[in-house]
Structure formats: structure tokens, C-alpha cells
Amino acid sequence: MARVVGRLRISRATEESTSLERQEELIQQWADMHGHVVVGWAVDRDVSGSVDPFDTKGLGPWLTDTGSDKYDLLVGWKLDRFGRRVIPLNKLFGWCLDHNKALVCISDQIDLSNWIGRLVANVIAGVAEGELEAIAERSSASRAKLLKLGRFPGGAVPYGFQKYRADVGWKLKAHPEHSKIVRRIVNEIISGKSVSEVAHDLTEDKVPTATGKKSRWESMTLWQITESKTLLGYATYKGEVVRDDQGEPAMLAEPLITLDEWNRLQAARERRRNPNTKRTRSASPLLGVAKCATCGGNFTHMDHNKEGKNYRYYRCTKNHPDHKQIPAKQIEDLLEEMFIDELGEYELEERRWVSASNHTEELNSAREAVAELSAVMEGIKSRGARDTLIKQITALDSKIATLEELPVTEAHWEYIPTGKTWGQVFRAADWSERRKTLTDAGITVDVKIEGQKGASGAWYANVIIPVDLLERLHIGSTEEHNKRREVRAEEIRKSLGIGN
């Protein structure tokens, strides 16, 4: 009488003939018939045959020095229940021989005790591996075909969408709650917020994450959401857009954002993507506004406590000789007074983006598709695949020719009066909101202090207002404005008690 460990594995519980229950029944019958006793079961449910037997949760522990002392025979219904790849199976065969274990496959009648049995086992293993590759190819082809038809092939549902059963198969539609969160994420990144700021605000507002739990939003999650073209409703496979016979993107769902918004989102992401920069939540209140008058770099904000007192400073990271750090309150007060003196009485205009006409977006999309398909064609050798690509490119070329004849309205910014002055808005805002107002308008301030220690020494400060803003507000020429600014800046510094 020998001790038996029964091997039960199934990838998907769909057929009664291959169910775990059926496998267990066959192994138990075999053990009873031969007078053996089953001492344990190595069960792996929903585990692919491509997984190395030694790495599976059910069988792996039995293939150790500790586990091998508890049994004599390793019995499965068929060889493919142990695995479907030749190399891992040969590794299992070698382990069984080294540890004096017999491997039995009831249906295949394999005996590893002689070379003929091992040869047969390798042949069967090769066939099993071939079947695995065929299954993978059929699965891949089936998935691509379903995507091309606009049907959801299964797997993880892209964030912002939910699946529903259609007349034929499954499709996607906008999730009533998640789609709103996606819109918020996209709008805030386009408006100038960093990805980390958006993630922080979502967490602070207790917005449920993609898992549905009220936990912390991570920046990486937002990067992944905003880089996927599923936001446009496009079907994608392995990160690439799936295209129909006409070369157009296969539509998996109604888009959550427009193509123009997508382009602006990617431009905003690219501006924010800097692998050499680490951002923190204590970012400078004047980040992107306060500049070094010597090198033009952003001032860094330093904030620390000493003996119960808080100290804040701004300084250039370049450590220029004779340049001093500047007390934060002084530069912020100076900027506030100079800004209000410059623009406080003028009406604030809200900048709004006017999207390009629909055919302009279509034209850009068609040209992008031609470029993608042309790049793919360089590596294609089969005539069938080349014919398909040529058909798609020809259809797109015809579409481009038609669209190019249509009137073009380029995307542009327009400025809408708000009924409030710059001064009213600026005074009512905190520095986070002020920074956004300034950066949206392109306004910066160049500052430096040279000479003596602390806030004394030779001050230099200059508010830089874009020429187009001066022209819209009908404020003199740039040269005239600069002269007036220098005089007023000196007066304001003296009134605040700053510098010499």
C-alpha cells in the first residue's frame, strides 16, 4: 500500500468532464482499485497550465524536502493537470526521480521508472505545450476580434466605465459616478494642477478610489488613467489602439472626453512629467511666479520651526555669490502690493478654451492613424497583412483629402469679462488661489537681494506682465510701463520697510 497525493488543477470551471470534482473522483477510484491510500490533495483552482508546478500554491508545497516525506505517489488525471510546458514538466520529472517518487497519469498511463515512459511523457508534454500555445493564440485572436467589433472581451473594466450585457456579448458605457471623477481629474490637470496635487485633493475630499474604498489616491493611478485612450472610447489592445477595416479607431464606448481635451491633457501631463524632480506637499506658494533675477530659475520655499517659532524664506537654488535668502512674508507682501498697484483697477478676464471645429479633430486623428499604420507596415512581411493595412491607409487617405477641403477653425483661447477687478479677486484669495491666477495669466516677479545680511542690502524686484495682457488691458507700451514700475516698486519697498 502506497501513500498518494492527488493532483487537481483547472484553469476555468466550465466543463463537467474536467471539473475538480470529476478529477478527484477518478483519482480516488484509481487509488482504491490499487489498494493505495490518499493522504492529501494538491488543488489549484483557476491556475493556468503555463505556471511552473513548483510555483503553484496547491502542488508547490508537496515538491519540497519537507513535503516529500509524506507520500510515495503523485497522481493526476492527465499529464496536463501537472502543467503544459515541456521545461517545467521535465523539471518535475527529474525531481520525482531524485526523490524516489512515482508520477502517475491515469488517462495517459505514464511510468517514469524507465526511459520509454520518460520519452512518452516528453512527447505528451510537447503536445500539451502546443495546445497551450494554440489556446493562447485563439484567445488573443478572439480578444482582438471582439475589440474590433466594439465588444468588451472581458478582464478589468477601464476606470470611468462599467460593462453591460448587450444584444450580443458585453459592451461598455460611462459609469455614473466614476466618469464624473474622471472629468474632474482631467479638468484639474488641464487647468494647471500637478498630478500629485489632484491625487491629494481627491484623498482630502474622501473621493472613493478605483477600488470603491475611501482610501488614499496615488499619483501613479492618475498617470495610468490619463494615459489610456479608452478615455476617448477607443478599444485598445496591449496599449495600442485597435482599428477597424477603414483604419478608424474601433469604438468600445462613448468617449468620456473629446479629442481636443485629450490633446490638451497630454500636453499638460508632458509639462508635469519630470523624472528628476520630486514634489512635496509643502510646495512654494509662489512656485512658477517668483523667479531669480539673475538666472531666471524658480525660487525654492524653505519652511522650518525653531524654538517654537516658524521661519519661511525664498532663495534661488543656484547659490549665487552675494545673493541672500529673502523672508517669505516680505516678498509676498511686496508682490501683492506691486501686483495690485499694476493691475488692481482693471477688469479680470477669464480665459476659456475654444475647441477646434469637429472636422479639424477628425483630420488630426486621421493623420495620426496613417502615421501609426505606416510605421506598422515596415515590419509586415505577409501579403494578407499588408493588403489589410493598405486598405486601411487608402480609406484614411481618402478621408483626409475630403477633410482638407473643409473650412478650418483652429482651437484658440478667448477672454470673457468677469465683472470683477484683478484687485478684488486677488485680495479675496489665499496664496494658492493667487498663484493660480498669476500663472494662468503668465505673470512672474524677478527678485534678488545682494550685499548685506538678511532682508537689507540692495533689493531688486520687477513684476513681469506678458505683452498680450498689457495690450488687452490697453496699458501703455512695455517700455513706458517698465519705467513707471521701477519708480512705484521703489516707493512700495520703502512703504513696507524693505531694503535700503
> Domain of 34: which CATH number?
3.40.50.1390
328 and 449 share one domain: yes
On whether residue 29 sits in a domain, the answer given is yes
Same domain? For 395 and 422 the reply is no
10 vs 121, higher pLDDT: 10
Residue at which a domain ends, from 227, 245, 273? 273
Asked if 241 and 334 sit in the same domain, the reply is no
Q: Domain tally for the chain?
A: 4
3-state secondary structure of 149: coil
296 vs 69, higher pLDDT = 69
pLDDT over 90 at 315, yes or no? no
Contacting residues for 387 by C-beta, under 8 A, at least 6 apart: none
**Is the pLDDT at 383 greater than 50, yes or no?**
yes
Q: Which residues pair with 164 in a beta bridge?
A: 171
Q: Which amino acid, residue 190?
A: I
The answer to whether residues 36 and 109 belong to one domain is yes
pLDDT at 38 over 50: yes
In 273-353, where does DSSP find H-type helix?
328-343
138 found inside a domain? no
- Residue 313 forms part of a structural domain: yes
Same domain, 298 and 260: no
User: Does residue 50 or residue 24 have the better pLDDT?
Assistant: 24
Under the banding of pLDDT at 50, 70 and 90, the label for residue 51 is confident
Q: How confident is the model over 419-442, as a mean pLDDT?
A: 85
Residue whose C-alpha is closest to residue 333's, from 280, 285, 281, 283: 285
Mean pLDDT (whole number) for 392-408:
78
- Range(s) of the domain holding residue 404: 359-410
**What are the backbone dihedrals phi and psi of residue 401, each rounded to the nearest 5 degrees, phi first?**
-60, -40
Residue 337 in domain: yes
Q: CB neighbours of 452 closer than 8 A, spacing ≥ 6? A: 324
Number of neighbouring beta carbons within 10 Å of residue 116: 9
Q: Which residue, 331, 337, 355, 344, is CA-closest to 265?
A: 355
CB-side neighbour CA atoms (13 Å) of 457: 18
One domain, residues 330 and 432: yes
Residues 227 and 324 in one domain: no
Q: Which residues pair with 416 in a beta bridge?
A: 350
| Predicted TM-score (pTM) of this structure | 0.41
In-domain check, residue 80: yes
- Block residue for cell numbers 510537447: 126
Of 244, 273, 302, the residue at which a domain comes to its end is 273
pLDDT, mean over the chain: 77
278 lies in some domain: no
Residue 219 has pLDDT above 80, yes or no: yes
Asked whether residue 87 is domain-assigned, the answer is yes
**CATH code at 239?**
3.90.1750.20
Same domain, 440 and 295: yes
Band of pLDDT at residue 115, cut at 50, 70 and 90? low
| pLDDT on residue 289 | 83
438 and 311 in a single domain? The answer is yes
Residues 14 and 117 placed together within one structural domain of the fold: yes
**Which of 239, 273, 307 is where one domain is finished?**
273
Whether the per-residue pLDDT at 163 is higher than 50: the answer is yes
Query: Is 153 within a domain?
Result: no
Same domain for 61 and 86: yes
Residues 33 and 170 in one domain: no
- Whole-Å CA distances, 430 to 9, 210, 284, 433, 464: 62, 31, 13, 5, 21
Pick the more confident residue, 461 or 342: 342
| pLDDT level of residue 440 (50, 70, 90 thresholds) | confident
